[in-house]
Amino acid sequence: MKFLLSLSLLAASLLFITGCNQVNGNQPETNNDYYLFVGTYTGEGSEGIYLYKFNAEDGTSTPVDTVSSSNPSYLALSPDHSFLYAVNEEADSADASVSAFSFDKENGEISFLNKQSSRGGAPCYVSTDQTGNAVFVGNYLGGSLAAFPIRDDGSLAESTSAIVHEGSSVNERRQNSPHVHCTIISPDNNMLFVTDLGTDTVTGYAFDSESMTLQNEPSIVFETEPGAGPRHLTFHPNGEYAYLVNELSGTVVTFSYDGESLEELQTISTLPENYEGRFSGADIHVSADGSFLYASNREDLNNIVIYSIDQDSGLLEKVGEQSSGGAHPRNFMIDPTGNYLLVANRNTDNIVVFERDRESGLITPADIEINVSQPVSLQMVPDNE
């Protein structure tokens, strides 16, 4: 009887403490540490892929690991975060490849598994399907793309599909041949969308998740405004909208997506009004809550442009812009908490951390930088999964 009474008193005490914490606004202690992966160009001192521990409480980072890899200019993690994939952006197709690594989340170690030919020159984009069973690579030179099955140990098998684009567009200097720049799977895992800067097209190839192959002929072909230069495509979290950043025209295109077609809804500028300087669109991301979209400009602008997203229509409205804190912001990311936005400035060898207001979408410098040679790709995952 005394034992039962003691248990009752203990339970009541725990409930009281929990209630006090809730009244005082205190929450149970959580782990705010994340792993930050940084891909780089290795021509000026970088060794390859850098791993940091990112503290989402204060925005600071601590070095954890470094892995040698040649020009790992774009990174992708498997959906379960156990494996890392990186392009090796070599211009010569004989040297261009995609590498696979295992990632030990317990001790933060990255280990090389194998690599495969990327099936083209200067691979600049890598992604996985939604299940983590396939990797897709886009090759800038030659305008090709390829699909690779992922083995049980995370390593890559030889490609099951390789497709080569043909054509050109109106910009003779930049569009005299195909230049695939992005390969991203649809939210339903049925369609691989490919942006081609050289041909001004966004194409969708049906993906067979059983055979890990792509249909040779596209099911969807969208032609952009001539000279736009499609670069990166991203989807809204609800899967009903997609957003395209155009490198050469400084615009973002809003699409509706129904699983079978892309329908253009809006084209909006990333540039200041009456702007006449140099620019080059780069990266694009939607916040996890689907409320804001961000796009980066390089050249003379070097900024991040912020748009609000109408939740009923998917349409964009510009709400602000912010200097990237360096030169040539090729890639950026929003951290998993939504409280920070990190920008990789290639030409100034710095990753700049910004605090992000989740209500307004606006970002402000946190006065925190990570110094690393030619950073160009960022990925982040929790360290306590």
Read off the CATH number of the domain in which 270 is found: 2.130.10.10
Question: Tens place of pLDDT for every residue, the chain, 385 residues?
Answer: 433 334 343 344 333 333 333 333 333 345 689 999 999 999 999 999 999 999 999 999 999 999 999 999 999 999 999 999 999 999 999 999 999 999 999 999 999 999 999 999 999 999 999 999 999 999 999 999 999 999 999 999 999 999 999 999 999 999 999 999 999 999 999 999 999 999 999 999 999 999 999 999 999 999 999 999 999 999 999 999 999 999 999 999 999 999 999 999 999 999 999 999 999 999 999 999 999 999 999 999 999 999 999 999 999 999 999 999 999 999 999 999 999 999 999 999 999 999 999 999 999 999 999 999 999 999 999 998 6
Say how many domains are in the chain.
1
pLDDT at 31: 67
- Number of Cβ within 10 Å of residue 313's Cβ equals 12
pLDDT at 22: 36
In a domain, 26, yes or no: no
In a domain, 304, yes or no: yes
pLDDT at 213: 98
In a domain, 287, yes or no: yes
In a domain, 156, yes or no: yes
CA–CA distance from 115 to each of 65, 69, 150 (Å)? 20, 11, 11
Rounded distance, CA 44 to CA 65, Å? 19
In a domain, 205, yes or no: yes
Sequence-distant (6+) residues with CB within 8 A of 278 are 299, 300, 301
Q: How far apart are the first and last CA of the chain?
A: 41
Query: What DSSP string describes 160-213?
Result: SEEEE-----S-TTT-SS--EEEEEE-TTSSEEEEEETTTTEEEEEEEETTTTE
- The tokens for 216 are 């040779």
In a domain, 234, yes or no: yes
Domain encompassing residue 313: 39-319
CA–CA distance from 68 to each of 1, 90, 101, 320, 358 (Å)? 65, 15, 11, 38, 36
- Is residue 166 within 8 Å of residue 145, measured between CB atoms? no
- Number of Cβ within 10 Å of residue 78's Cβ equals 20
In a domain, 286, yes or no: yes
In a domain, 240, yes or no: yes
Would the pTM count as exceeding 0.85? Answer: yes
Query: What DSSP string describes 339-385?
Result: SEEEEEEGGGTEEEEEEE-TTT--EEEEEEEEE-SSEEEEEEEES--
pLDDT at 384: 81
